[in-house]
Amino acid sequence: MRTRIARTILPLVLVACIQPLVSAQTIRAPQHKHRARHNRIVGVWDVQNRVLDCSTGAQIATFPALHKYELGGTLQVVPGGNNPTSASAHTGIWQPVGKNQYQMAFKFFRYDSAGNNIGWAVVRNDVAINEAATAYAGSGKAEIFDSNGNSLATSCPTFTGTRFQ
């Protein structure tokens, strides 16, 4: 008797557990497909940065970096041109704003040579990718703050990059 009840109930329990998983996958697929055009930036980009004085256009610095755009609108930037003990991880957000056009913003914390927090920086850029989604370029504004939130300086970064292979 117990065996017959178990054989009857077990398949029902399995269907009840699996059905929501299958339904959720079916529902998500069209959303991803609909947004596929906007997600073309997703991936890792090998980038060359130039930091310019906003007033004069004079070059302040150049350095390589990696930009990683993730599904869902999050972003990670790994600069290759500074001492890793002078700044935290660079994390941020991105969003599509038009065909092959995006906006991104990220923040990182700054430290002095003794490891004390001396503030942060916020960088906001407009980004455009080519039709093949293999190269991109952007520019924007970086603002540097002290640890009390007072704006200390601005610069105007520009960059070009190719998809990391």
Q: Cβ contacts of residue 89 below 8 Å, gap of 6+? A: 76, 78, 108
Q: Using the 8-state DSSP alphabet, how is residue 154 labeled?
A: E
The structure tokens listed for 93 are 């957000």
What is this structure's pTM? 0.75
Residue-level pLDDT at 92 = 97
Has residue 75 got a pLDDT over 80?
yes
Using the structure block, give the residue that is written with the tokens 């059905």.
19
Query: Strand 117-129 vs strand 101-111: parallel, antiparallel, or unpaired?
Result: antiparallel
The structure tokens listed for 149 are 């939130």
Say how far apart CA 160 and CA 57 lie, in whole Å. Answer: 17
Query: Which of the four CATH numbers 1.20.1110.10, 3.30.390.50, 1.10.10.10, 2.40.128.120 does domain 40-163 have?
Result: 2.40.128.120
The string of pLDDT tens digits covering residues 83-125 is: 777 888 899 999 999 999 999 999 999 999 999 999 999 999 9
Q: For residue 36, name the pLDDT band (cuts at 50, 70, 90).
A: low
The proportion of the chain whose per-residue pLDDT surpasses 70, expressed as a percent, equals 78
Residue-level pLDDT at 2 = 52
The structure tokens listed for 105 are 């913003």
Backbone angles phi, psi at 25, to 5 degrees: -65, -40
Residue spans of the domains in the chain: they are: 1-34, 40-163
Q: For residue 148, name the pLDDT band (cuts at 50, 70, 90).
A: very high
The count of C-alpha atoms lying within 13 angstroms of the C-alpha of 71, restricted to the half-sphere facing its C-beta, is 6
DSSP secondary structure letters along 62-126: EEEEEEEEETTTEEEEEESSS-GGGB--EEEEEEEEETTEEEEEEEEEEE-TTS-EEEEEEEEEE
The string of pLDDT tens digits covering residues 6-28 is: 444 434 333 343 344 333 433 33
Residue-level pLDDT at 37 = 60
Residue-level pLDDT at 84 = 72
Using the structure block, give the residue that is written with the tokens 């991880």.
89
Has residue 1 got a pLDDT over 90?
no
